[in-house]
């Protein structure tokens, strides 16, 4: 497991504000959703394609994707992730009205995933992880078309095809417990490891490629 290190200092106001009507809704998990440098995604795609089959990840309860390969060299990936981790920290500090500045972090379990038609990941969590992330390297346009054609009133599925979804808290008619979206190419999502999440299958006979991993902070 390679060590993740950041020398970037975040200039965030550490003042704890009083709760107002405007901030009452700022609770629960914070999810970063932003674009990624194309040079970074290109290198991930190229290096991931070189990983031999013996570095495949065994199937487990959280995986229904047949082709998953684990990166051995994670140092260059951790260095490229620094600005996105700092974005998450800045967003979470503003969101939570707290001031958290970890000294360091460990990056682990970095894998490239080749999702084919009909494959999915059921809802799961990463219980021993501070942050989880996914970077989308290749997303065929046909998957977005499937997503947009989904009709919640007619289709049996709860979430549209090709979704990544997140669930939090107890289900109640007046609670907003879930969020979902159709991932964009060259984008990253980052969220707390305890947050329930999964991905839905799509019908298009193509491949969606992503890189996933976990981060633990060293306070």
3-state secondary structure of 143: helix
Residue 88 near residue 30 (C-beta atoms within 8 A): yes
Confidence at residue 45, expressed as pLDDT on a 0 to 100 scale: 97
Note if the pTM is more than 0.75: yes
Diameter of the chain by CA atoms?
A: 55
Confidence at residue 62, expressed as pLDDT on a 0 to 100 scale: 56
**CA–CA separation, 143 and 124 (whole Å):** 23
- Which pLDDT band holds residue 174 (cuts at 50, 70, 90)? confident
Q: Using one digit for the tens of pLDDT, what is the confidence trace for 74-119?
A: 899 999 999 999 999 999 999 888 899 898 999 999 999 999 999 9
Confidence at residue 115, expressed as pLDDT on a 0 to 100 scale: 96
**CA–CA separation, 193 and 132 (whole Å):** 5
Question: In the chain, what are the domains?
Answer: 29-218 (2.60.120.620)
**CA–CA separation, 105 and 5 (whole Å):** 6
Residue 115 near residue 210 (C-beta atoms within 8 A): yes
Nearest to 88 by CA among 18, 29, 43: 29
**CA–CA separation, 124 and 107 (whole Å):** 20
3-state secondary structure of 189: strand
Q: Using one digit for the tens of pLDDT, what is the confidence trace for 191-216?
A: 999 999 999 999 999 999 999 999 99
Residue 47 has pLDDT above 70, yes or no: yes
- Give strand pairing partners of 166: 179, 197
**CA–CA separation, 210 and 208 (whole Å):** 7
Residue 216 near residue 102 (C-beta atoms within 8 A): no
Indicate the range of 6-15, 160-169, 172-181, 196-205 predicted with least confidence. 6-15
Phi, psi of 180 (to 5 degrees): -145, 160
């Amino acid at each position: 497991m390679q060590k993740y290190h950041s020398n970037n200092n975040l200039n965030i106001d550490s003042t704890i504000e009083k709760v107002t009507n405007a901030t009452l809704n700022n609770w629960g998990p914070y999810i970063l959703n932003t674009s990624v440098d194309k040079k970074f995604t290109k290198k991930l795609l190229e290096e991931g394609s070189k990983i031999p089959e013996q570095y495949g990840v065994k199937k487990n309860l959280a995986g229904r994707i047949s082709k998953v390969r684990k990166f051995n060299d994670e140092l260059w990936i951790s260095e490229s992730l620094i600005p996105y981790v700092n974005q998450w920290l800045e967003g979470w500090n503003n969101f939570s009205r707290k001031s958290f500045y970890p000294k360091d972090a460990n990056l682990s379990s970095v894998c490239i995933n080749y999702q084919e038609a009909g494959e999915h990941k059921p809802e799961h969590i990463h219980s021993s992880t501070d942050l989880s992330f996914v970077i989308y390297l290749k997303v065929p346009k046909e998957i977005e078309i499937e997503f947009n054609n989904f009709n919640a009133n007619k289709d049996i599925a709860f979430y549209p095809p090709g979704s990544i979804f997140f669930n939090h808290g107890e289900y109640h008619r007046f609670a907003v417990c879930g969020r979902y979206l159709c991932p964009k190419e060259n984008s990253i999502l980052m969220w707390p490891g305890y947050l329930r999440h999964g991905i839905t299958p799509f019908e298009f006979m193509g491949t969606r490629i992503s890189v996933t991993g976990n981060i633990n902070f060293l306070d």
